[in-house]
């Protein structure tokens, strides 16, 4: 499971999540959600408020 931050309202596993929610998603679904811009990866879910949206790793 991968921690992500919801950017746009999304339904995952029949549950609705609002923007700003933290969500754990399967690797299988992660890329699909990233592709549509619904979520972004969270490096440390513990750190509140110190997100740097410019640090995007491409590999």
Question: What is the count of structural domains for the chain?
Answer: 1
Residue range of the domain that includes 13: 2-39
* Within-domain flag for 18: yes
DSSP state, residue 13? T
At 29, which helix (H) or strand (E)?
A: helix 27-35
Helix, strand, coil share (%) of the chain residues, nearest 5: 15, 30, 55
* Within-domain flag for 20: yes
pLDDT at 55 over 80: no
Q: Measured between alpha carbons, how far is residue 37 from residues 7, 16, 46, 56 in Å?
A: 7, 16, 22, 13
* Within-domain flag for 11: yes
Mean pLDDT, the chain, whole residue set:
83
Express each pLDDT in 37-50 by its tens digit: 999 999 864 555 54
């Amino acid at each position: 499971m991968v921690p992500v931050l919801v950017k746009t309202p999304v339904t995952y596993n029949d549950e609705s999540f609002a923007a700003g929610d933290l969500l754990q998603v399967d690797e299988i679904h992660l890329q699909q959600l990233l592709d549509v811009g619904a979520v972004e990866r969270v490096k440390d879910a513990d750190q509140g408020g110190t997100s740097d949206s410019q640090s995007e790793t491409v590999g």
